[in-house]
Structure 1
Amino acid sequence: MTYYTGMVAAVPTANKQAYIDHAKDAWPLFKKYGAVRTVETWGVDTPKGKVTDFQGAVQAKDDESIVFTWIEWPDRAAADKAWQTMESDPEMAAMGDMPFDGSRMIFGGFEPLMSVGQVDGADFYQGFLLAAPEKNKDAYEKMAHDAWGMFEKYGCLGMAENWGVDVPRGKQTDFYRATKAEDGEAVLFSWTAWPDRATCDEAAKKMEAEMEGVEMPEMPFDGKRMMWGSFETIFDSGKG
């Protein structure tokens, strides 16, 4: 089964090109370890939230931007083996220092809960982090499938909902802190793919208008703790 390593980090905005170069240099190594694809996206609209947001998730500074990244693996076993291997790989060590503070990066392993349409290869994405009760997994999946029709109608290319199965606790930051996850909750790392920002922004307006006055059903998670942001693709190994 397809498996993802999801990551979020804060990168000095001035280091954008250095970050892109670092991602491009790292890809051949990840490919050697068995990765299928890596997608790196750069935050262009990551709004502040009242309860959670991407800035707080990685303790971002005013001069930093958010990156939302995933590495696709053929399965969890391949990912686990790769991370173990790279710890002692001199080629990885030779990569040098990262152009951002890795101690504040959050990461974890995720299995696809729902994947419809084109979930990679896009120029623009909306990324989401949230926590949902483990007992509501089936209900969350149903909600996502029900929502897809509206997203597709307004130009969304694809939707990926990924359920955390190997999400480590961190000393400084982690996905649990980011989403204020409670006992018995799993973290989700999800995204929607769009052809461009204009289509995404217009879809948001149309969906808001369509839902105005409509009584919303109870969601199988606490929406107040969900964070979202808009991201442009800065490197996609599948696009050369």
Structure 2
Amino acid sequence: MSYVDGFVLPVPKNNVQAYRRIAQKAGKIWKEHGALEYFECVGDDVKPGKLTSFPQSVKLKPDETVVFSWIVFKSRAHRDRVNKKVMEDPRLADMMNSKSMPFDSKRMVYGGFKTLVEL
């Protein structure tokens, strides 16, 4: 079964195109280093909940939208190898600086997940 890294983050609505450019570049690099799939999705139907929701998880502000992303790997070991190569890739150095990111990285939620069901 595959392994997935998942991310939820707030992006200012006026920065969505800048985020898209960064995501396209990053996705190509992740795939070059072995990721099986790379997805970046912008919120379309993500209403605040009463107890929990995507907007609440990132403390979404009125001028922001939620981005939901995931990267698919063969296994956790494969993920660790790929991510090590990605983090060492000089093409990502500029993007890894939190001051140059088009979103507040402190409010990003992320984690690694073992696949439970794969159809």
Matched, 1:42 2:42: yes
Opposite residue 110 of structure 2, the aligned amino acid is F
For residues 10-49 of structure 1, the aligned pairs below 5 Å read 10-49=10-49
Q: CA deviation at 1:22?
A: 1.1
Aligned with residue 106 of structure 2, among 103, 107, 116: 103
Query: For residue 64 of structure 1, what is the aligned residue in structure 2?
Result: 64
Separation in structure 1 between the aligned mates of residue 28 and residue 49 of structure 2, nearest angstrom: 37
Q: For 1:134-179, what per-residue CA distance to the aligned partner results, in whole angstroms no more than 9, with x for missing partners? A: xxxxxxxxxxxxxxxxxxxxxxxxxxxxxxxxxxxxxxxxxxxxxx
Opposite residue 117 of structure 2, the aligned amino acid is M
Separation in structure 1 between the aligned mates of residue 61 and residue 117 of structure 2, nearest angstrom: 33
Separation in structure 2 between the aligned mates of residue 112 and residue 44 of structure 1, nearest angstrom: 25
**Runs of 4 or more above 4 Å deviation:** none
Opposite residue 105 of structure 1, the aligned amino acid is M
Larger RCO (alpha carbons 8 Å, 6+ apart): 2
Q: CA deviation at 1:43?
A: 0.7
Query: For residue 188 of structure 1, what is the aligned residue in structure 2?
Result: none
Query: For residue 92 of structure 2, what is the aligned residue in structure 1?
Result: 92
Structure 1: give runs of 5+ residues left out of the alignment: 117-240
More strand by share: 1
Separation in structure 2 between the aligned mates of residue 88 and residue 16 of structure 1, nearest angstrom: 26
Q: For 1:22-42, what per-residue CA distance to the aligned partner results, in whole angstroms no more than 9, with x for missing partners? A: 111112210122101111111
For residues 142-153 of structure 1, the aligned pairs below 5 Å read none
Q: TM-score, normalising length from structure 2?
A: 0.87
Return the index of the structure with the highest Cα Rg.
1
Q: For 1:155-208, what per-residue CA distance to the aligned partner results, in whole angstroms no more than 9, with x for missing partners? A: xxxxxxxxxxxxxxxxxxxxxxxxxxxxxxxxxxxxxxxxxxxxxxxxxxxxxx
Q: CA deviation at 1:60?
A: 1.2
Q: CA deviation at 1:108?
A: 0.7
Query: For residue 184 of structure 1, what is the aligned residue in structure 2?
Result: none
State the SS of the aligned residue for 1:87: helix
Separation in structure 1 between the aligned mates of residue 15 and residue 72 of structure 2, nearest angstrom: 25
Question: % of aligned pairs identical?
Answer: 41
State the SS of the aligned residue for 1:5: strand
